[in-house]
Structure 1
Amino acid sequence: MSRIYVIDDEAALGENIQRMLRSSATAVSTFTDPKIGLAECMANPPDLVLLDIRMPQMSGEEVFARLHEVHPGLPIVFLTAFGSVEGAVLAMRNGAFDYLQKPFKREDLLLVVKRALSHTSLKHEVETLKDRLEALGEADAAQSRSAAMLDQMEKCRRAAATDATVMILGESGTGKEVMARFIHQQSRRKDGPFVPVECSAMPGSLIESELFGYERGAFTGADRTKKGLIESADGGTLFLDEIGDLGVELQTRLFRFVEERVLRRLGGLTPVRVECRILCATNQDLLAKIKAGTFREELYYRLSVVTVKIPPLRERPEDIQHLARFFLERFSRRYGKSLSASPGFYEALLRERWPGNVRQLKNVMERLTALHPGGVLGPEDLEEDTPKVEAVSSLSSLPWKDAREQYLSSFETSYAHAVLTRCGGNVSAAAREAGVDRKTFYALLNREKDQQVGESAPQHEAENGE
């Protein structure tokens, strides 16, 4: 049911409008006091406001200005006498939906109300579709200002125009499935299904039947024929996530399908042709797995016709503030909050290491939005998530050489992040400020992390008997 508010100091006009609009699909409330009407609109925004432009207690223009500031998408139709048409036209230029000149006919009122409610309905539909896209991750793909990330996205756009298989590499949380959906949406198959398969989520005993399907009687409990996930992707895109976790025997069967685009269900003899695009993703080193004999070389080269490498968030600091603002706006809409963030908050974000990449940033922003009472996010809101730099006193238990190296690496990383913050996340500008090239500056940003990796490597080798 559509809710319509009438704010007009003439009670008779409000009652007349109620009669004109009476139906099971609309509920009309009238207010002769504009201050009360404004307060009700602020607290419980309707689908449409019919607003008198001239009222003694508070002018329609003032009510409109207050309402439009808080609820800019709320359609407002001015009710105006002949002498105030100019004011109504001016208000339309500032965002009002339309105006009706008194006295007006019932059909004129019904027409403008129908148009305004259709506008509101369409706006809600667009917001719903946008939320669905965001839930799928589509909107995230375009949220990058990093040259390295934009290069990979451009490669994806070019690959999307073909049916070439694409291997998407990247750490956990960098957005590999987001990129796969981006490729699908850019391709000629965008109207077909997008079928994601989490290869690491299903036990080996189930994944074959889930992928290839089965015929009735193929095994105990198979009381009907079932299509597999590969068949479900016919005409669209099959996305094999964490392909590195697929067992070697199943890799052989998958290779045959990739080559021929034909499969046989478990227990079946009839070949089934499936016409689909194949995308894969992994955070593992597949070349190392090939050497270890746990991944088939021919399958690797068949799946990686095009290879896309998504850089981790720490290597694209230009994106941190941009993504944080994007997520803040998204979750503010979702949770009905009115939140913004201070410059200090974004500076604190740039000082974080983000080992969980975009997924971690997204989760942090959702948590902060869900728990914050409203207003402005500040750096103090990130304190529990911000890693603390070790104090010199805590290094006293280490040998002098190790303590000095650890302290210097922390200093270099902190220095690089401070310069980067001062330059608004622009790596090129920060490198110029520091007097080094971009490659060296990236090394400074990751100095502490690289040292930790280097220190852990000998222990890892020893544990593996190398």
Structure 2
Amino acid sequence: MTDASTPTSAPPAHRGRVLVVDDQRNMRTTTALVLRTEGYTVSEAATGQEALDLLTSNSVDVLLTDLKMEPMDGLTLLKKALEVVPRLQVIMMTAFGSIDSAVEAMRLGAYDYITKPFKDGVLRHRVELALERARLMSQVDLLSDEFNQRHNLTALVGGSSAMRELKNRLLRVAQSDATVLIQGESGTGKELVARSLHTHSRRSGKPFVPVNCAAISESLLESELFGHAKGAFTGAVKARRGLFEEADGGTLFIDEVTETSPAFQSKLLRALQDGEVRRVGESTSVRVDVRIVAATNRDIETEVREKRFRQDLYYRLNVVTLRVPPLRERLEDVHDLARHFLERANARNLRPRRLSGSAVAHLMDYTFPGNVRELENLVEQAAALAESDELMPEDFPLRPQAQVAHSAGDLASMGSSGAPIMTLAEVVDEAEKRAILQSMERNQKDLARVADELGVSSTTLWRKMKRFRGLDAGPGSDSQGK
């Protein structure tokens, strides 16, 4: 380390804000001096609580903290600091370079770690890399916001890779008149995707007309879509145009199309093939120019194989497919979604609620079987009932993960072997956890190699390690030391 008494030249221009935390005064001040001579704006703290106070009142890009301190150790500070500043880049300083402490710190969200004693050049290099990551993350957020605003995709909240892929594919297909089939679980936002398709199409100046096939009885669905003549059936006191005609020139969104009967599917197929509809009770057809966007929450290929959905209609609808990912596949979007829903609730309730970091972490540990709709309901409930303006984990009562399979009126809770039934989300989680454990064993817990082998980013790997239990198990997994 550079001697604290060594004279230095005038520091270069401001390069970033660093907070150095160490209960050993000499180590803290010397480390801070090295960084100041490089042009960093440096704050110092002797305790974890002092550091948290500084984070609350000051803007910080990188937190450089000792691991073993009293009364609050570095890992505890790490967790609390990320609750205050979720995008904070944290570098742990430890006297032991064991992989165990590094894995634990990474699992909790640290960016990097550095082993004492370290050379000035190593320190500067690690801090610069952390600042570069902070700048890149800010740039990604900015570009994501600009992209959404430029293309009017603000309703599709989320910057995860799955959502970026969906938005890019949506923009490519929107300009054509191709029929689109949107697939996704209930509550994922399929209608929002359909509306965005319409907004970016050449038909945007014409009507967007939605119909939910599951919400209309079979006897009324034909009249609802195709219209009817006066006197066509009891209650038809006057002629009425159907939704196909209402959507003429625009987009007709047929939601839950797999809920229809084969007889109705045959009539729908004829309308799509001919570009004409015939009102119930009439003998002549009416030409219509509509773009069809259909959606389903079922596995439509299984429906076709089991003869519940017409194969020819499936091919007619499945020209282009858009898959809306479930929330459990994009948990990194939970924070942005929760903040979006809370802002809407605040505007309605005229009360400035805010999310705590611990509440966000609590939500990200959940798999959301009800997807985005469930998250929206949770946020609205918390905004209405919480006693404090800062929403805490206890304001979000989540269903126990193990009980998901038994909710919503499920009658069977046990399989034929007597073992509890697992939800699909639980099966996926267990498979991912097992794959990570096996890869860690093969790669001697080298996280970079594990991430590369599994084909995920280091950030995704750390997040999964944080969510799953037992990933740091094994000999030497205790992360004590400094």
Shift of 1:387: 2.1
What CA distance in whole angstroms lies between the structure 2 residues aligned with 1:229 and 1:174? 25
Query: Are the counterparts in 1 of residues 166 and 322 from structure 2 also a CA contact under 8 Å?
Result: yes
Deviations 1:332-367 (A, max 9, x none): 111111111111111111111201001100111111
State the distance in 2 between where 1:294 and 1:238 align: 23
Aligned match for 2:242, one of 207, 224, 228: 228
Match of 1:315 among 315, 321, 329: 329
**Distance between the aligned counterparts of 2:242 and 2:199, measured in 1?**
23
Q: d(CA) in 2 for partners of 1:373 and 1:402?
A: 41
What is the Cα deviation at residue 372 of structure 1?
2.3
Structure 2: gaps (5+ residues): 1-151, 404-417, 437-445, 470-482
Q: 1 or 2, which has the higher helix percentage?
A: 1
Correspondence 1:212 to 2:226? yes
Change (3 A) 1:365 1:202: same
Contact 2:345 2:380 in 1 (8 A): yes
Q: Counterpart of 1:155?
A: 169
Q: For residue 141 of structure 1, give the secondary structure of its aligned residue in structure 2.
A: coil
Aligned twin of 2:454: 437
Asked if structure 1 preserves the Cα contact closer than 8 Å seen for 2:156 and 2:192, the reply is no
**Structure 2 CA distance for partners of 1:414 and 1:327, relative to 1, 3 Å:** farther
Q: Alpha-carbon deviation of 1:373?
A: 4.0
Within-5 A mapping of 1:300-449: 300-382=314-396, 384-385=397-398, 387=400, 432=448, 437-438=454-455
1:188 and 2:202 equivalent? yes
Quick one: distance in 2 between partners of 1:266 and 1:148? 43
Q: What is the Cα deviation at residue 149 of structure 1?
A: 1.7
Do the aligned partners of 2:187 and 2:373 also contact (CA within 8 Å) in 1?
yes
Contact 2:175–2:202 (Cα < 8 Å) also in 1: yes
Q: Tell me the SS of whatever aligns to 1:268.
A: coil
Cα gap change, 1:444 to 1:273, in 2 (>3 Å): farther
Q: Deviation string for 1:156-190 (max 9, x for gaps)?
A: 11111011000000011111111001111111111
Unmatched 5+ residue regions in structure 1?
1-137, 391-400, 420-429, 449-466
After superposition, what is the alpha-carbon deviation per residue over 1:371-397, rounded to whole angstroms, capped at 9, x for unaligned? 224521112222x2252679xxxxxxx
In structure 1, what is the Cα distance between the partners aligned to 2:256 and 2:169? 21
* Residue-pair matches, total: 286
Residue 256 (structure 1) aligned to one of 262, 270, 280: 270
Q: Check whether the contact 1:337–1:374 (CA below 8 A) recurs between aligned residues.
A: no
| Structure whose CA Rg is larger | 1
Distance 1:387 1:140 in 2: 32
Say which SS state the counterpart of residue 190 (structure 1) adopts: coil
Read off the aligned partner of 1:297 and give its amino acid letter.
Answer: Q
Residues 159 and 333 of structure 2 are in contact (CA less than 8 Å); yes or no, is this contact kept in structure 1? yes
Residue 312 of structure 2 corresponds to which residue in structure 1? 298
Q: Partner letter of residue 302 of structure 2? A: A
What is the TM-score with the length of structure 2 in the denominator? Answer: 0.54
Partner of 1:171, secondary structure, is: coil
User: CA separation in 1, counterparts of 2:432 and 2:305?
Assistant: 40
Q: Contact conserved, 1:338 with 1:374, CA < 8 A, in 2? A: no
Describe how 1:166-205 pairs up with structure 2 within 5 A: 166-205=180-219
Call closer, same or farther: CA 1:265–1:338 in 2, change over 3 Å: same
Looking at structure 2, the residues matched to 385 and 231 of structure 1 have their Cα atoms a distance apart, in angstroms, of: 44
Q: Give distance in 2, aligned partners of 1:236 and 1:167.
A: 17
Once the two structures are superposed, residues 254-280 of structure 1 have per-residue CA deviations (whole angstroms, 9 ceiling, x without a partner) of 111111211110111222111111100
What is the alpha-carbon distance in structure 2 between the residues aligned to residue 349 and residue 443 of structure 1? 14
| Cα distance in 1 for residues equivalent to 2:217 and 2:280 | 16
Give deviations 1:111-162, integer Å, cap 9, x for gaps.
xxxxxxxxxxxxxxxxxxxxxxxxxxx8763311111121112111111101
Cα distance in 2 for partners of 1:415, 1:282 equals 27
The answer to whether the 8 A contact 2:365-2:467 is kept is: no
Provide the identity percentage.
Answer: 42
Aligned CA distance change for structure 1 residues 222 and 431 (closer, same or farther; 3 Å): farther
Cα distance in 1 for residues equivalent to 2:302 and 2:269: 19
Query: Using the alignment, how far apart are the partners of 1:315 and 1:212 within structure 2?
Result: 38
CA distance in structure 2 between the partners assigned to 1:269 and 1:415 by the alignment: 58
Q: Compare relative contact order (CA 8 Å, sep 6+) and give the higher one, 1 or 2.
A: 2
Residues 386, 291 of structure 1: CA spacing in aligned structure 2 closer, same or farther, 3 A cutoff? closer
Q: 1:203 to 1:389 in 2, by over 3 A?
A: closer
